[in-house]
Structure 1
Amino acid sequence: MIPIQRFADPTRAVRAAGCETGTLPGGHPYVRAGSKPRSLVVLPGFGDAMFSGDYPPFSGWALASYFARYLRTHEIYLLSRPRKLPPGYGPADAVETHARALEAIVDAGGTIDVIGISMGGLIGQALARRRPDLVDRLVLANSAARLDDGARPAIRRFERYARERDWAAIRADLAAAMFADGRAVAYPLAARTVGRFLQARPAEPADVSRSLAFVRRFDGRDELADVERPTLVFGGERDPYFTAERTRETAEALPRGELELVPGAKHGAFHERKATFDSSVRSFFERSTAPGE
């Protein structure tokens, strides 16, 4: 899930945003805010598998608050993955269901920009390559063409936690990897104590293991040259999963790739340095166009 934070004055943006929740074709739960002709679809990271997938009615307001800076130009969709992922869930499965959801958004009018966060960035790459008609511009946030080799033991450890249904341990380790400030200590402690009782449980425990296996197996290096859409690769220099080296090689291999690495930031750079992230993405959207525009 994307952490929701409050901005100084989100009220005007929330009032102006039409908000709704529901399920799109392919079985994708979603939250929508805004009503502009251009859509911004956010594909969340691995943590999306760790909750029920049912968004309460107020979720649209929280989404509008978090993405307030985009509401002048876009309607925003937070598009979860389906529950009950199939065994061996891979890029072809992800593209098939996500394409059906994006087709429904296109049919409603407008064009689509995509922000893929971590695992969502892996899916975003596959979508942009296999269904370029559905993606105008792509942002890979704390994501790359593949997981760093040094991160594989951590993913294996998460897979063991998933078999044991130790969701608190997964959340604690993720929090330590995401933040470079005091939250790297406070959040893991909270996850392992009160979080064991307060955090949502996965609707489908198998989805956690299948999502982790997807991340561990994914390797899009040989397909980057076929991603013709303008792509911003945004990461943290201290990200332990999609390292600076993996991020750089991804941006360099993309025909229309741009790179921004945030000094000192880790796997949660898109959130911990959100002002920087938003400015970079807005600037990227303003100066880049898809082929033929």
Structure 2
Amino acid sequence: MSLVTLPADADFAEIREVIDRDGGIIISNFASEELMDQMNDAIDPYFDAVVASGVMDEYVRDGVNFFPKNNVHVYGTFGKAPEVASKLLETPVHKQIMDHYLNDEYKFVVGEDIHSHNSGWGLLLTNAMRVSPGSIPQQLHRDQVVHCVPQTPFSGYATQMGCLIAGSDSTEANGATRVVPGSHKWEWDRRPKPEESVPAAMKKGSALFWLGQTVHGSGQNHMEPGSPNSVRKLYGMFGVRDYLRQEENLFLASPWETVKDCSTYALTKLGYVKTASGVGMVDLGHPLRWFKPLAHYRQQAGYDDSDIPENVVNK
């Protein structure tokens, strides 16, 4: 079985049918090659900075060293290339898919009246991936585990929707993301086998969408260094249901400048924390790592100044 590819202007009912059945889809002609070249030009310098910083040498999530060697991730790409990222975000088919799969109608009682409202969605994260020759397969996984929601056979609800836009051609040889079609309908404890996965091969400017319950992982890059198309680049525009966050925007209501002298306990409860599942990270690290002065809080959080590379600290 392979993933279905449909054009960006396909009837949305057809797109929805494929996602419901397979758990994911490839959308061709999602963005122009020129737009992806602009994104590549904006983000390329950050890849080398991340490698030099060492922040990806070991990123443990859910007890697993999550990113293979030569698979480099840059986070916060929206802020690094806002004009291009805005154009990608506003692509009509991206909006259609996110609006449909990350939208709840909720009915509730206030006094004697029944009310209803619909949720929306927001960006879960924006990132970039560079997979170079020598990268081994990433362990197959579900993204939705970061929300600690029990995996059940898909019935229409997902906490999040993945979206990766190709900044270069993705092929099986250069490590195209592998997806297990139909795995969104599995029970939580079914172990995926590598042979059940298929490569999400797609052209530059295409996009891969998948449900939060769908099993997937980066593939192995078998190509020779320096050979044509040996490096694979992808850009993430992941969506999440908009209520899966704190009710009050505490980062504006209680900004760092006003709360920095509070205890580490209080700061983590305000949201300056990376949870065990990885939610809340900044460049893969704990948020308290990225502020100065930090001596007191960093010691309480288990860090010392020597473990922060100067070139990646947010001043």
TM-score between both structures, scaled by the size of structure 1: 0.26
The structure with the largest strand share of the pair is 2
Higher RCO (C-alpha under 8 Å, 6+ residues apart):
2
The structure with the largest helix share of the pair is 1
TM-score between both structures, scaled by the size of structure 2: 0.25
Larger radius of gyration: 2
